[in-house]
Amino acid sequence: MERRNTRKIMVGNVPVGGNSPITVQSMTNTITKDIHSTVRQIKELEKAGCHIIRAAVTDFEDAKAIREIKKNISIPFIADIQYDYRLAIAAVENGADCLRINPGNIGSKSKVREIIDRCKERNIPIRVGVNSGSIKKEYLEKYGGVNENSMVYSALEQIRLIESMGYEEIKVSLKASSVPLTIKAYEKISQFVDYPLHLGVTEAGPIWKGTIKSAVGIGTLLSMGIGDTIRISLTGDPVEEVRVGREILRSLNLLNEGIEIISCPTCGRTKIRLIELVEEAEKRLEGINKPLRVAIMGCPVNGPGEAKEADIGIAGGQGEGLIFRKGKIIKKVKEDLLLDELIKEIENL
Ligand code: SF4
């Protein structure tokens, strides 16, 4: 699929937009100033494949903590600021790689200008984040409530304000909890600006439902070539957000990292404990960062054939299984050794 052409900005050392790979973001749910817990969570997220992390900065202690947090993590840090321009400035001074603000919430033009001036000094990009729940009253009245027009024109006002201050290191998000509205809003803004777009369906819900909503919303936009970085919002462990985000990208061939598992749904021919095997494989293969497709199939009749596209795989039998590579059988192994053997083969690839 052809990606929409956007400008490239740098969030720390990670490019966003242009032809850069689409990145997965998440947000910590620790108290940011609890440096130990925040660093621990960010490290877990890094391990799960998170490319950029965001954290709420609610007071000066949070802002100050950024300096220490950044010393202990390897991915760029975005400070999420609501209302107080002084916190945005403190976040920049303490080393934030990007700010997420809603200029409409910051107050007077002079306060916004102060933030922009600090960002300019260090080339720190700003995400203009408009949510369907926080559109200014005048836009709601003018455009007849919460819809793609009130969202887009509200974002455009904020973008134009930052541009008028001579700054264009911008990315934009327009999140709604309604999937159709999210799609319409991003589609519309992409006709007006070429800044990189941060995609998300906000307040998507608990893990199972939120995963589906996000996959439909973000997946639809990505398949239209829209979107440069994504964040899945789930009520749950943020590690799940990263897993889901990566899987959405992978399913559209937009992630060239880590292992993709293909597995069959099982049927009356399945003679091994395939469901347990796949669950175990998922856990054990998570840390291997090779761009491989691994098939785990229930039977030797259809297994290798159905998974010809896979780089390597297993086809289960009665108490044993076959290991195959690119559809060709390479060895027969007892059931309880199948996974160990598969991992050995993957490590040797
Ligand atoms: S691969 Fe074999 S066991 Fe799995 S669904 Fe297909 S036929 Fe059934």
Instruction: Verify that 327 and 236 share a domain, yes or no.
Output: no
Tell me if 201 sits within 8 A of 175, measured CB to CB.
Answer: yes
The CA distances from residue 116 to 47, 62, 97, 110, 248, in Å, are 33, 20, 14, 10, 34
Residue 2 lies in a domain: no
| DSSP single-letter state for residue 233 | -
Alpha-carbon radius of gyration of the chain: 23
Domain range for residue 276? 259-348
Instruction: Verify that 263 and 133 share a domain, yes or no.
Output: no
Instruction: Compute the distance from residue 317 Cα to the ligand 1 centre, in Å.
Output: 11
Instruction: Verify that 282 and 190 share a domain, yes or no.
Output: no
Instruction: Verify that 284 and 246 share a domain, yes or no.
Output: no
Instruction: Verify that 238 and 297 share a domain, yes or no.
Output: no
Residues 303-314 have pLDDT tens digits of: 666 667 789 999
Residues 148-203 have pLDDT tens digits of: 999 999 999 999 999 999 999 999 999 898 999 999 999 999 999 999 999 999 88
The number of distinct structural domains making up the chain is 2
Tell me which residue of 259, 260, 189 sits closest to 224, measured CA to CA: 189
**For ligand 1, mutation pick of 297, 301, 309, 324 (most atoms within 8 Å of CB):** 297
Residue 106 lies in a domain: yes
Q: What CATH number is associated with residue 240?
A: 3.20.20.20
pLDDT at 35 over 90: yes
Residue 131 lies in a domain: yes
Residue 1 lies in a domain: no
Q: What CATH number is associated with residue 307?
A: 3.30.413.10
Residues 265-276 have pLDDT tens digits of: 999 989 899 999
Atom 5 of ligand 1 has which residue's CA nearest to it? 266
| Ligand 1 atom having least distance to the Cα of 268 | 8
